[in-house]
Structure formats: structure tokens, C-alpha cells
A and B are shown apart, each in its own frame.
Chain A
Amino acid sequence: MESSRREFLKVAGVSAVGMGIGTQPVLDAFAASGGESGEAKAPKMVRGENALTAVHWGMVIDTRKLETAADLEPLIEACHKVHNVPHHEIKRHEIKWIWETEYHHAFPGKSNKYLNEGAEHRPFLVLCNHCENPPCVRACPTKATFQREDGLVLMDFHRCIGCRFCMAACPFGARSFNFRDPRPFIPETNKKFPTRCKGVVEKCNFCAELLAEGKMPACVEASNGAIAFGDLDDPESEVRKLLRENYTIRRKQTLGTEPSVYYIV
């Protein structure tokens, strides 16, 4: 009994320090160990040797090279497999990071009455736009969704409280919520990426975990060159070259969120 009481006091003491009630030197020591109260002093993260880096990651999808649903399926499958996205039977519970839709749904504001054959019949890939001004990041009350320096909009699945404010804020319907435990619905678990628990939001992460290993995003790899991925800030990058040479559109750019995904139609 005595020892468990002491344990309790110790824990309570540390919690009090964590909340900023303790004395300064202790606070510093706690901050140095990575405590939340001293985010500025947190240990420096070291980047992997092979990690791919950019000032502003972006994507260009050449929809001319993705003619049919069969062309898109391997891309979607690759993404959902590597990220342990569950296959729910009930549509209400559905989770998707990247999926196909029609032109009219991908670009509701640019839906011309008379479209050319290609746009009319071609399936379009949609995913998180990793906006420069992400409304989801603005809305999140816990910083569980945040924007990294290189433009990636990411999620901390352990901090998310499941309020779904980010889902209301996203103008692209890019976010999904775990309405139930996803694990029984993952056909084959990829041990290199975390599975999620029920009650948290998730979405495309531009394969931040693969970039850190020096690999390109899964959908880009599976696209046979139809999707280019690179640094929008670098005039010499492949994405910028494509943007120079082709007329491209973005989803709902009038809303000012500045999507980082461009489409060649």
C-alpha cells in the first residue's frame, strides 16, 4: 500500500510539473525530456539520409493517361494497402484516402454543360489537396491535424478527439472517420504503417512515411508516369515543367485554399 501511494504521489507530482505549476529548473528538465510544456526545446528531429525533401510538395495528375476505372484501380489499391485502409461493407462507415469520381463531382464549379468526350467519360482521381491554407488545420481544436513545413497536411491519430470539425471544414470531402474499429476490415496489415482505432479521422498523407525513406508516394509509383510528384517551389522540378507545358486546373481554387494537386485535363 505504502509503495503504491508513493508511486501515485510521484505521478501526481510530475503531472503538476507538466501543467506548469512546478519550479523552473524542474520544468526545464521536463521540457528537455520532450514534455509538451516546452515544445520549443524539444529534441531536434534527425532526417533519414535518403529522405526526399521539398519546400512545397505538390502533385500533377495527367488525367489523359488515366482513361478508365481499370487504370485507376491499382493506384487506389496501392494507397489503401500501404496505409491499412479498411474495406467496410456498409457505405456509411466507408473510409477512403484516394478514390475515383466523375468530372462533375471532382469540379462542381467548373462543370461545363457541354464537355469534351474525354472529360465527360474519364474517371477522375480525388484525394486530399494538401492545401496551402488548409481550413481543416484552422478548425482542429487540438492541433491533431497540422501543416508541416514542406506543405504536407498530416494527422496525429493519437491526439485526435474525433470531433470531426475538420471534416466539416474540408471543402473537398477528403476526410474519413473511423465509425467503428477498422482493424477487422483490413485484408492484409502493413506492419510499417500504423492502423487506426475507432473514433479518429484520417486522410491521405501524401505518403509522408515513404518520402522519409526516400520513396515516392504509392499512387505515384503505381501510376506508370501518369502522376508526377515533386517540389512546386523548384522551377526545375518535373511538376513545374509539366505545369509550364500544360494547361492545368485545380479543385475549387476560388475558395482560396490553394490546393497542391493539379490536373491536366
Chain B
Amino acid sequence: MLELAIKGSKRYYGLLAALAGIAGLGGAFWLWQLDFGLGITGMSRDVSWGFYIAQFTFLVGVAAGGVMVVLPYYLHDYKAFGRITILGEFLAIAALVMCLLFIAVDLGQPMRMLNVIFYPTPNSILFWDMIVLNGYLFLNAVVGWNVLEAERNGTKYAPWVKVLVYISIPWAISIHTVTAYLYCGLPGRGFWLTAILAPRFLSSAFAAGPALLILLCLFVRRFTNFDPGREQIQSLAKIVTYALILNVFFFLCEVFVALYSKIPEHMDHLKYLFFGLHGHGALVPWMWTAMALMVLAIILLIPPKFRANENLLAISCGMVFLGTWIDKGLGMISGGFVPNPLHEVNEYIPTIPELIIALGVWATGFLVLTILYKVTVGVKEEAGA
């Protein structure tokens, strides 16, 4: 089936070359980081996780979001989604590749990475995160590939594939739950120390993942002979709408608890993010932009008339993706580290090399996605012909 990936138009190869170029540039900067150390980033002993781990957290959400097409199709027999389950699963694969790469580039001693397996430590949430992320990658790769191959051969996939599908559904929930547990179980970090963190992560995941999927579906329809389908896109849009509303609601619950209780350890992080603290407020404009994007997107997504207009829907989905990205990929991690445990304000701002490495990882993920989608579209076009 992989041969479908190498028979493409000039435009396809151009896209691959561009993505590979960006990935290569990121790789070159990563080599520099390997040589110098993580000192080329903006991180410090106070903000010890930065842009890389924030991207990781956001992308775990995108990966988990894939389950929003798998679940209705396999558990509720919602037939329309049968057409796009592969797109959801392959998006999850690309997102997971990025997650694992972001973990790798964030390690101080990446060559010792396998110590996590050589000295398994079940009391560490990172150990479990390694298991659930790799497991989910495996499940999606096996299921996606087998289902697509069966479709190509005009047969039904083997029964054991269905077993893996059923396992993959709660597994998707687990990847983002465990990722939230990385943060919300730490005693000294008031911003994350909240039971709503995992639900909030999941709701933003189920908004961001399907929103990206809608954009990808529109892209695929425009540039290939495979149409993922109008009904499919409309159903996804409903999922995005509800998930986004839940995400904003959960966030407001958080805001209420912190601001009404006025407990400094919980309140000061929110103050820092939205109003600035002791004269430091690098993230203030970003956070308000994120909130504005999400609220505006809700307004544009709720009326069925607006949602049915696919051009407007594309704009709304772009806003959802960008808004949840700022919320999680910028504010969520550094917001938890400022102020620090001694209640000092030391801000974090990513450096240019750090951003280039991150961009390289994103490009690698989209390179994987392009190849996987090319194969998928190839199979669908063959079937349609």
C-alpha cells in the first residue's frame, strides 16, 4: 500500500520537500542543542518546562481527539463516519509522532532515554505516559493500516482488528488523562492542582482534534478526488461545538474557584496569565486572544445556519484550533511555573532556536500526516474509480 505514497503530483512532492526542509532545519538546530545543552532555550531553573512540553501537551489532545470519529462509528454504528475513521486514526498517528519527538527534544540526556524502560518506575506518571502514548500509537497504526488494506482489497478486516478498536477507545481517553496527571498531582503547583484538569484537557482535545480534522477534510476535498463528505463534516462540527463549550465552562469553573476563594497559590497564576504579576505579563495579550477566539468561535458555531456554511465553519475551526493552542500550548505550562515555589516572578520566553526546533517537529508530524493521507486518498480514489 505504501507504493501509493510515492506516486504523486509535483504539488505533492513540493509539499513533502518543503516539510522535509523545515524538519531538516529543526534537526540542525537540535544538533546544536545536543552540543550546547538546553541552555539555548528560554527555560530556567524556575520555568523548567517550556515550549516543547507545552506542544507535547497540546498534541496529546489532538491525538486523543481522533477518537471522536472512531467512537461514534464503532460503538454507535454511525455509518457516515466510516468514511473518515482512517483520517482520524492517521491524524492521531502524526500527532503522537510529534508528541514523542517533543519529549525527546526536551530531554537533557536523550541518549539515556531507555532508562525509563530499564528501570521501570510505576510510581512515576511519566512511566505511565510512556506506556499509554506508545500503546496508542501502536493501536492506531495497526488498526488504521489493516482497515485501509481491507478496504483496498474489497474485503472485511479481520475480527481481531475490531478488538483493538474497542481497546483503543478508552485508551484515547487514557492518554490525555495520564498527561493531565503529570501536572495535577504535584503538591506545590497551585495552578495545576485541580481535579478539573484532566476533564479540561479532554474537552479542549475534543475541540482541537476534530477542528483540525474538519480543516483537513476540507483540504482533502479541495485537492484530491476524494470527498470526506458534507454530513461527516457537519457531525464533526457539532462535536467541536459541544466540546468547546465544555472547555470554556470547565475553565470558568477553575476561574471561579481560584478567584472566589482568593487562595494566593491558586489565584496568582491566573492573575499572572491574564493581568500580569508584579509588572510581568508577557502572556497577557496571548491569553485574552485565546479567550476571545474561543468565545467568538462558540458564537459562530452554535447557530446551525452559520455551522452549515462551510467557509464560515473553516474560519471557526481555525479559531478553535488557534485558541486552544494558545491556551494549552503557551499558557498552560509556563503559567504553572510563574510565580515559582518561592513566589518569585521569573518569566519564560522561548528563544528563536527553541521555536525553530519546535517548528521542525511540527513539520515532521505533518510530513508523516501528508504521506499517510496520500495513501488513504489513493485507496479511496481507487475504490471510487
Which A residues have a C-beta under 8 Å from some C-beta of B? 36, 90-96, 101, 104-106, 108-109, 126, 135, 138-144, 159-165, 167-173, 175-181, 197-201, 252, 255-257
* B123 near A138: Cβ-Cβ < 8 Å: yes
A248–B183 alpha-carbon span in the complex (Å): 31
Nearest-Cβ distance from residue B61 to partner chain A, whole angstroms: 19
Q: Which residues of A contact B44 (CB under 8 A)?
A: 91-94, 179
Which residues of B come within 8 Å of A, CB atoms?
A: 36-39, 41-46, 48-49, 103, 106-110, 112-113, 115-116, 118-119, 121, 123-127, 130, 182-183, 186-189, 264-265, 336-337, 340-344
A83 to chain B, nearest CB (A): 16
Q: Are B188 and A170 in contact (CB under 8 A)?
A: yes
B187 touches A165 (CB 8 A): no
20 contacts between A and B (CB under 8 A): A36-B118, A93-B44, A95-B45, A105-B343, A138-B123, A141-B126, A159-B115, A160-B108, A160-B112, A161-B108, A162-B112, A171-B341, A175-B45, A178-B108, A179-B39, A179-B41, A179-B43, A179-B44, A180-B39, A199-B109
Which among B121, B336, B341 is the interface contact of A140 at CB below 8 angstroms?
B121
In the complex, what residues of A have CB within 8 A of residue B182's CB? 165
**In this complex, which of B36, B126, B130, B336 has the most chain A Cβ atoms within 10 angstroms of its Cβ?**
B126
Sort A-B residue pairs by CB-CB distance and give the 5 closest, nearest first: A162-B108, A171-B188, A199-B108, A179-B39, A198-B37
Across the interface, which residues of A come within 8 angstroms of B46, CB to CB? 173
Closest to A165 in B: B126
Specify which chain B residues have a CB less than 8 angstroms from the CB of A169 in the assembled complex: 186-188
Given contacts A179-B43, A257-B187, contact A159 B37 (CB under 8 A): no
Is B109 touching A162 in the complex (CB atoms < 8 A)? yes
Taking CB atoms, residues of chain B closer than 8 Å to A201 are 108
Q: Find the residue from B39, B41, B107 having the highest chain A CB count within 10 A.
A: B39
Q: Which residue of A lies closest to B125 (CB)?
A: A139
- Asked, given contacts A138-B124, A163-B126, whether A93 binds B119 with beta carbons under 8 Å apart, the answer is no
Among candidates B116, B186, B340, residue contacting A173 with C-beta atoms closer than 8 Å: B340
By a CB distance below 8 angstroms, the chain A residues around B108 are: 160-164, 177-178, 198-201
Q: Is the CB of A144 within 8 A of B115?
A: yes
**Chain B residues near A197 (CB, 8 Å)?**
109
Q: In the complex, A176 Cα to B336 Cα: how many Å?
A: 17
Whether A143 lies near B121 (C-beta < 8 A) is yes
Q: Which of A91, A96, A101, A164 contacts B49 (CB 8 A)?
A: A164
Contact among A161, A181, A252 with B109 in the assembled complex (CB-CB below 8 Å)? A161
Q: Which residues of A contact B110 (CB under 8 A)?
A: 161-162
Are A143 and B119 closer than 8 Å at their CB atoms?
yes
For residue A144, give the distance in angstroms from its CB to the closest CB of chain B. 7
List 20 extra interface pairs beyond A143-B121, A181-B37, CB under 8 A.
Answer: A106-B342, A108-B341, A126-B342, A139-B124, A142-B112, A142-B116, A160-B109, A162-B110, A164-B48, A168-B48, A169-B187, A171-B189, A173-B46, A173-B341, A197-B109, A198-B37, A198-B39, A199-B37, A199-B38, A256-B187
Contact yes or no, B37 A178, CB < 8 A: yes
The residues of B that contact A108 with a CB separation of less than 8 Å are: 264-265, 341-343
Residue on B with the closest CB to A135? B187
> What A residues does B41 contact at CB under 8 A?
179
Q: Which residues of B contact A177 (CB under 8 A)?
A: 38, 43, 45, 48, 108
Q: How far is the CA of A106 from the CA of B344 in the complex (A)?
A: 10
Q: When the two chains form their complex, are residues A168 and B186 in contact, meaning their CB atoms are under 8 A apart?
A: yes
Contact A142 B42 (CB under 8 A): no
A contact residues around B112 at 8 Å (CB)? 142, 159-162
Task: Write the chain A residue with the least CB distance to B122.
Answer: A141
| Contact A255–B109 (Cβ < 8 Å) | no
**Of the residues A93, A142, A164, A257, contact of B121 by C-beta under 8 Å:** A142
Give Cα distance in the complex from A143 to B126, angstroms: 12
